[in-house]
Chain A
């Protein structure tokens, strides 16, 4: 195995015989004149893009989040909801569904859940993307994957305009999941249809405007 490591690196160096020996990686100029920060009001854009990809968006006044979650759970007939261990208890205070805090549930237990409620780390307006980084109010990756309905709470101050701002804010050492709408596929005649293996329903509760 060590042999192949040295062999491959040796081949790479031999292949690059034309590269001057004193050239450093940074000597290869990368033009960075693309937009690193986009301007404009991100909230209407986020709503537009989320809806374009068949997510359902609710704009919820601060203080009405618990009722909005309860109403969504009722409408979707969610009897059992899994939540990350640190989800604020007031978020699920109004729902009549049974709320299960994830303390390392087995996959079959997760599979028996009708829905999941999480927060997020950042949302990207321009692409209609919500990023989960397993940080505050998000839990481990499996809980937002196995249940079929994902209710995701996004605070207005978590929304950025474009992808570059999100990449700059996120910590690559956390496992990240970038979510743009419910699961979908374009594999049949290159036409997009929603609903495959991931959650088939994504409802976004946008608060703190």
Chain B
């Protein structure tokens, strides 16, 4: 059974541990800085990036505001093309549907294209409980699966591993799963990619069932779209007899012609390429070409709860490019595991609390996993205002139970600041007592002052200085 995020500590605890790991810090810094530069140059090549971004945002908003219409349209288009549509309200139902569909084929092995939706529902574990082996075929997913590790990035789940660590994982574990790694394996990326090719080759040619996600589902034609790099996607989408695609209900775009926007936004934002090496699109099964049986599982699993929040809804525009992770100063230092979910980084910090609610300690801590610098919003290809949603979610968290001290402090501050006379008295008292104010607050409030410098308290407040000056008294320094 592969590891899950269940039981992870809250963000501050996990982040404190992650930031003490120098190897992790080094790997993440290297990788995020490499990809930032590539994205900048790929985006800079297009004069109309701002217009594409505005169009991408608007197309997704149109979809979300009329999602019921588009879901029904997508269902009938897929059905008309010869596919079968299933609806899953939550993770358990989606796992049950997929397990049943695989069982119906009589097969015990499936190959998988990298898919966030199936990570989210922990499909591999559900299949394993049913005696079905699921093999990840994306290189980074393979590294995570072989290493019995957790994903730490949306696009490159093994971003926290460097080449030497990957070599060690391949040498140690590939033999247990199938074709072993060559004994003289070096840690050159070319050699590691070759080892993955040899390890998976036979599996691609023999396996009868594949499971994928989709980057986009086109409502008016019933077309599914998968962007990838390695060709593992093409293998899974082309060679098996049965294809099962698990698709979040927010993956819809209304029309085929809308892809002209997203096929420009996604690759440049994600891997910083003008175009990813391979994109596959298919509309139902094709005669004599590819899988004969095609199923789509439409997944809710908290998305409708997110949709119900008028501010938070914009998180569903996300096309999973990872640009916000790569640019984020917090993610760069903590890595993805600290976010306690398959969706890490800034987008995870707004998506997880909405998909799961903020009652658990991890999800309640995520809206604070940000300095609100706004870099994530700047790079988002569909203009999700992540800082706005973070602040909105913080309001939700503090309006829940607990936080008695913050609430009392804020209440007192409001009482004081709402009345000029009270404020004046308080300022005069502070000024008089300024030599006696401690630099470190007592009790639990020390956590606040330990990481912040208190400002110097002046002898005379600005308001007092202004009044003295107007009265013809002493100006000079306030």
A-to-B contact residues, CB < 8 Å: 1, 4-5, 7-9, 11-19, 23-26, 28-36, 49, 53, 104, 107-108, 111, 124, 126-129, 134, 140-142, 145-146, 163-164, 167-168, 172-193, 195-199
Contacts and interface: CB of A to CB of B under 8 A. Distances in A.
B182 to A, nearest CB: 16
Contacts of B158: 187
B204 A197 contact: yes
B65 A141 contact: no
B178 to A, nearest CB: 15
B231 A198 contact: yes
Interface string B206-233: 0000000000001001010000011110
A195 B190 contact: yes
Given A4-B93, A172-B223, A175-B286, A180 B273 contact: yes
Contacts of B283: 172-175
A188 B139 contact: yes
A187 B190 contact: no
Given A16-B67, A126-B274, A187-B138, A28 B232 contact: no
A190 B307 CA distance: 33
A190 B35 contact: yes
A12 B71 contact: yes
A192 B155 CA distance: 14
Contacts of A111: 205
Interface on chain A toward B: helix, strand, loop, or mixed SS?
A: loop
B61 A140 contact: no
Interface string B76-104: 00000100001111000100010000000
B279 interface: yes
Contacts of A145: 231, 234-235, 238-239
A177 B279 contact: yes
B259 interface: yes
B260 A163 contact: yes
A107 B139 contact: no
Contact of A29 (B58, B71, B139): B58
B52 interface: yes
A135 B30 CA distance: 43
7 contacts: A16-B68, A25-B62, A127-B274, A141-B280, A145-B231, A172-B281, A193-B189
Interface of B: 27, 30-32, 34-35, 47-48, 51-52, 54-55, 58-59, 61-62, 65-72, 81, 86-89, 93, 97, 137-140, 143, 156, 158-159, 162-163, 166, 189-190, 192-194, 196-197, 200-201, 204-205, 218, 221, 223, 229-232, 234-235, 238-239, 249, 254, 256-257, 259-261, 263-264, 267, 271, 273-283, 286, 288-290, 298, 300, 304-305, 307-308, 310
Contacts of B223: 172
B27 to A, nearest CB: 7
A167 B89 contact: no
Residue in B201, B271, B305 with the greatest tally of chain A CB atoms within 10 Å: B271
Contact of A107 (B47, B193, B239, B280): B239
A33 B49 CA distance: 11
Contacts of B35: 186, 190
Nearest to A35: B48
Given A104-B288, A178-B279, A190-B159, A16 B298 contact: no
Contacts of A53: 273, 277
B58 A28 contact: yes
Nearest to B326: A190
B307 A185 contact: no
A190 B156 contact: yes
A30 B229 CA distance: 30
Contacts of A192: 271, 273
Contacts of B93: 4
Contacts of B88: 4
A30 B249 CA distance: 21
Contact of A16 (B205, B289, B307): B307
B261 A34 contact: yes
B62 A183 contact: no
A6 to B, nearest CB: 9
A193 B201 CA distance: 18
Given A164-B260, A180-B273, A199 B298 contact: no
Contacts of A179: 277-278
A183 B289 contact: no
Given A11-B304, A29-B58, A188-B193, A1 B87 contact: yes
A149 B471 CA distance: 89
Which of A36, A168, A176 has the most chain B CB within a 10 Å cutoff?
A: A176
